[in-house]
Amino acid sequence: MFASQEKVQGRPIRLIAAACKNMGIGKNGRLPWTLPMEFQYLLDKISSVSRPGKKNLLVWGRICWFSTPENLHPIDNAVNVVLSKTIRCASDLHLAQKALAHPWCDLIYLTDIMADFDCDTFFPGFDRSVYRLQDRFPGVPDECQQECGIRYKFQVFKKELGYR
């Protein structure tokens, strides 16, 4: 039993989101902003794999899944799982909260939208001494972006070794 448990390999869990100044991420089931290049960044990240043939397992909340434009699908290199309590009962915790607390979660891609938006959905607070903001991260533009008059910055928070 222990041997088989040891064979189970941790697959990294990554969160990706964009949050405005008050950590808002959504309003009325949609994104509060329209930032096509920022959205393209999300698509690039969720469809990129370490080598051909690999796939990312994308876990979506039901509302988020149904709010994505139909022409988005299929997403390259992705297998999608949509959570709903009508299908599978888990806890009431926000999806992101569950992922953040998971030992296999190592990275948070969190775009900092430097503006105020009226939101009804928020990214959960997380411990920034556990998940540390990276100065630079491979594949992530360093410089501040500007689109539709809104400034934003791609950020990556990495879990410090020792926090599992």
Ligand X SMILES: NC(=O)c1ccc[n+]([C@@H]2O[C@H](COP(=O)([O-])OP(=O)(O)OC[C@H]3O[C@@H](n4cnc5c(N)ncnc54)[C@H](OP(=O)(O)O)[C@@H]3O)[C@@H](O)[C@H]2O)c1
Catalytic residue among 31, 35, 100, 110: 31
Nearest Cα to Cα of residue 45 among 99, 102, 96, 110:
110
Shortest distance, CB of residue 67 to ligand X, whole angstroms? 5
Question: Is there a catalytic annotation at residue 31?
Answer: yes
Question: Site residues (CB under 6 A) for ligand X?
Answer: 17-18, 25-27, 29-31, 61-64, 67, 83-86, 88, 90-91, 94-95, 121
Tokens matching residue 60? 């979506």
Q: Which is nearer to ligand X, 67 or 145 (CB)?
A: 67
Q: Which residue is nearest to ligand X (CB)?
A: 61
- Three-state SS for 108-130 is EEEEEECCCCCCCEECCCCCCCC
Nearer to ligand X, 99 or 137 (CB): 99
Contact call for residues 134 and 158 (beta carbons, < 8 A): yes
Minimum CB separation of residue 30 from ligand X in Å reads 5
* Active site (annotated) includes residue 70: no
Examine residue 74 and say whether the peptide bond preceding it is cis (omega within 30 degrees of 0). Answer: yes
Per-residue b or e along 137-159, where b marks 16 or more CB atoms closer than 10 Å to that residue's CB: beeeeeeebeeeebebebbbbeb
Minimum CB separation of residue 77 from ligand X in Å reads 19
Q: Which of 15, 35, 38, 110 is catalytic?
A: 38
Active site (catalytic) residues: 31, 38
